[in-house]
Amino acid sequence: MQHIQELIRVMAALRDPDTGCPWDREQTFPTLVPHTIEEAYEVADVIEREAYAELKGELGDLLFQVVFHAELANEQGWFDFDDVAAAITEKLVSRHPHVFADTVYSDLHEQTLAWENLKRQERLARGESVDSGLDGISFGQPALSRANKLQKRAAQVGFDWSELAPVLDKINEELDEVRSEIDAGAEPGRVEHEVGDLLFSCVNLARKLKIDPEQAVRGANQRFERRFRAIEQILRERGTSPSETELAEMDRLWDQVKRQEQR
């Protein structure tokens, strides 16, 4: 607690209107959002790379974002960091009656349903809409993650295929529709619409296979970057570059790098 209080004191000093840091003084809730998201992704990055020696620092950067937002709210007289900590503590206790009370769940599925019902009751208490089972899913999260959550919510009330085959069939159907729009010379908006449906169906496949789609795409990004950098290095050693190399040759090098990774 001593270090938390010191961090809060440092934050207040950075925001001091007379002696604080010019950059920190200029920040607002909206201008901080990109930094908050970036810090969260940097935490995810060090975990994915298993660079745990860096984790303490990245968690500190993320904590600083929470303290920063709380300081902005404190300046408005809304709440402070202690209120934030109290709110999450109360929420965790209320959402875990099987830990902090006498509730017993028969399995994880029953616990998940109870969790969603508790969240629904919280939204009702705040006067928020509960007209749909999809209420309360944030628009601010990455699109793949939000698609996954939308599908999970719908599945809880039975709007879901029990087998994998129809999911695969749906992907093929959506891919055919993309091809059809392209062949017909459709407007870009129509093609975007169909590509979106295709990606949504791919998220559904990931969900059925218990794969996090956002993590799967991050892994694909990492593999692409690693392999492309390897191609660049090979070409650099030849005294050339990708822009000076035929696509067929780069495809051949891609396959070569991929085979080397699989050994």
Q: Give the residue among 195, 46, 216 at the shortest CA–CA distance from 148.
A: 216
Q: Give the residue among 118, 73, 83, 121 at the shortest CA–CA distance from 99.
A: 118
CA distance 148 to 234: 39
3-class state of residue 119 by DSSP: helix
CATH class of 2-89: mainly alpha
pLDDT on residue 4: 94
Q: What are the residues whose beta carbons fall under 8 Å from the beta carbon of 122, sequence distance 6 or more?
A: 91, 94
CA separation (Å) from 77 to 15, 80, 90, 115, 116? 15, 8, 21, 32, 32
CA distance 20 to 11: 9
CA distance 147 to 199: 9
Contact 81, 67 (CB under 8 A): yes
Q: Give the residue among 224, 199, 189 at the shortest CA–CA distance from 143.
A: 199
CA pseudo-torsion sign 15, 20, 26, 30: negative
Domain positions in the chain: 2-89, 96-136, 215-261
Residues of the chain with pLDDT below 70 are: 129-130
Contact 80, 73 (CB under 8 A): yes
204 burial level (CB within 10 Å; 0-12, 13-18, 19+): buried
pLDDT tens digits along 10-67: 999 999 999 999 999 999 999 999 999 999 999 998 998 899 999 999 999 999 999 9
pLDDT on residue 130: 67
pLDDT on residue 77: 97
